[in-house]
Amino acid sequence: MFAAAACGAPAARQDGAAAAGTAFEAAVAAGDHVRACTLLAPQTRFQLEQDEQRPCPAALASQQLPKAAGVDAVEAYGRQAMVRLAGDTLFMSQFSGGWKVVAAGCTPRPDQPYHCLIKGA
């Protein structure tokens, strides 16, 4: 039973996604954009740098991400997760190095996909 919990049981995946999402939000709130950039998925970081034509920390600092606090809910499906916080929704993917933010600053839209301020291609 211990091995199952360590190998990615639903609660462990949800906890991991929530922890990474909370760390990203805390880094953004603290103005630590270097740290926040390390928590972005590689394609998301690349897309942000391409869109803004500058390195990730400066590009991320220029975004108007909402202030977020406290995890409201986490839904994890395999290596993907959605972390809903008070004020923001993040989409996450699990990589070999842990959970990374694929999309941030996401808001729901009726009968359409979420609109996200930062996302990979």
Say which residue, 120 or 51, is predicted with more confidence.
51
Give per-residue pLDDT as tens, 71-87: 999 999 989 999 999 99
> Distance between CA 107 and CA 116 in Å, rounded?
6
What is the percent of the chain with per-residue pLDDT over 90, rounded to a whole number?
Answer: 79
Say which residue, 3 or 36, is predicted with more confidence.
36
Q: Is the pLDDT of residue 2 over 90?
A: no
Rounded to 5 degrees, φ, ψ at 15 are: -65, -40
Token pair 């390195």 is found at 55
Which uninterrupted H or E stretch holds 15? helix 10-29
What is the percent of the chain with per-residue pLDDT over 70, rounded to a whole number?
Answer: 92
Look at residues 39, 35, 17, 9 and name the one whose alpha carbon lies nearest to residue 92.
17
Distance, C-alpha 83 to centroid of its chain: 8
Residue 9: band (very low, low, confident or very high) from pLDDT cuts 50, 70, 90: low
User: Would you state the structure tokens that stand for residue 90, as one six-digit string?
Assistant: 């993040």
What pTM was computed for the model? 0.88
> Distance between CA 32 and CA 4 in Å, rounded?
35
- State mean pLDDT over 98-112: 95
Which uninterrupted H or E stretch holds 105? strand 98-109
Q: What is the CATH number of domain 2-119?
A: 3.10.450
Give per-residue pLDDT as tens, 41-67: 999 999 999 999 999 999 999 999 998
Look at residues 1, 7, 14 and name the one whose alpha carbon lies nearest to residue 73.
14
> Distance between CA 118 and CA 47 in Å, rounded?
8
